[in-house]
Amino acid sequence: MSETTADWAFTATVVSRAERALATGDLRRAERLLAAATDRLPRLPLPEQVQALQLQAIVLMELAEHVAAEGVLRQLLDLLDSADAPIDDGPERLTETLTALGTVLRLQARYQWADRVLRDAAAAAADPAVSPQARLAVLNASAVVCKDTGSFERAEQLYQEVLDGFTELDGPSCDAVAATCHNLAGLSHARAQYAEAEPWARRAVEIRLRGHAPDDPRVLADQVVLAAVLVGQGREREAEPLYATALSAYELHFGPGHYEVAVCHNGLAACRVAADDPDGALRHLREALQIKRAVLGSTHPEIGVLLNNMGVALRSLRRDAEAAAVHQEAVPLLAAALPSDHPTLTSCRQNLAEARAARRWLVDERP
Amino acid sequence: MSAATPSTAIASEPTWQLLQGVILGNHCEPVLMAPRTPEPVRSAPAR
């Protein structure tokens, strides 16, 4: 066997093992295997290189390692751009890669770049060789950017198109329909229309449970959205067990420092505030902050949301000066990423004003 | 195995199936509002 053939065989074996590790949920093992294969990848034929790099990007995205995923996706784009060796399903791969890149940019709150890349994805998807599923995924990724940046009506139009498209293509009970229902619940949640969000969230859970085990991360993600919708309606007692179950399962599945674990801690904090247990809420929020700062950096708008929630818990403890300080820290993080009339920013500004007023009132009333 | 046609057989599951999991989902989390501070009631200054 020549050295090159041995290289190919070795790399193919490693990548197949990584794929199996991903299928069984062992993301860290998949990541290690793919990282080990990286040096030898350039010796593989182009289609196999593309496939291996896409697999690596998926693993990194599942691990919420957005910066590393971005690097791999850019490497993929360079490969797909190399005009000397086009691959058969190039337009499909290009569309998928740009959609994934737009998504990781959005997850880093780099919304303008996300929007620009997703426009390129839409242009790539216009190629007749691209599947309708890949085209709908571009629309979905664009809709999430619209939702995150407060363009709710545009997001709704896009999601509706995605929902109709997937229903027609793969039937009303496919995973993509469940994911779109999940996203429609998230959109109504962002608009503070919690009662409207609930049927979407429940439909997502119901569809997912038909095809996946209750501890599958996709089922858990839908239940976490349902929990957030219940919190919005003041039904924290129903939400808390959903968050607690998801937290334990995510810790087992991904490890205690994963982004999804932080999302559950924030939800549990909201439940603890409602149960008049602000100390319990602060413990969850500190955990969430530590994880999200490590995953997203210290200036991400989601850090602003956590600081806002921490301020509200501190207000419950009458620690108004500390509450005002954390709200003040939160506002610029949200203002840097969101439009000035975004509901989250408006809420945080109002909380800051309230905390300052409460602090002033206490100072004024001192004997 | 021929060097010209290596059998790498990477990723048996269609990439789309894997990608849709990471592309389609998004998150929503509670943003808490503090209870409104009641206006302080001040007694009239003594004459």
B36 in A contact zone (CB under 8 Å)? yes
pLDDT (tens digit, 9 = 90+) per residue, A90-115? 899 999 999 999 999 999 999 999 99
Average confidence (pLDDT) over A190-211 = 96
- State the average pLDDT for chain A: 92
More confident residue, B31 or A363: B31
pLDDT on residue B37? 59
Measure CB to CB from residue A266 to each of B9, B30, B36 and give the nearest one.
B30
A15 in B contact zone (CB under 8 Å)? yes
Can you tell me the distance from the alpha carbon of A45 to that of B3, in angstroms, rounded to the nearest whole number?
11
**Pair A263, A309: CB distance under 8 Å:** no
Q: How confident is the model at residue A42 (pLDDT cuts 50, 70, 90)?
A: confident
Within 8 A of B13 by CB-CB distance, chain A residues are 19, 23
Coil/strand/helix, residue A238:
helix
Residues 190-229 of A with CB under 8 A from B: 190, 218, 221, 224-225, 228-229
**Pair A348, A334: CB distance under 8 Å:** yes
Alpha helices in chain A (DSSP H): 3-23, 27-37, 46-62, 66-81, 90-107, 111-125, 132-148, 152-170, 175-190, 194-211, 217-232, 236-254, 259-274, 278-296, 301-316, 320-337, 343-365
Provide the whole-model pTM: 0.88
What is the value of ipTM here, to two decimals?
A: 0.81
Lowest mean pLDDT among A32-41, A55-64, A266-275, A309-318: A32-41
A265 in B contact zone (CB under 8 Å)? no
A319 in B contact zone (CB under 8 Å)? no
Residues B9, A16: C-beta atoms closer than 8 Å? yes
Measure CB to CB from residue A228 to each of B18, B23, B28 and give the nearest one.
B28
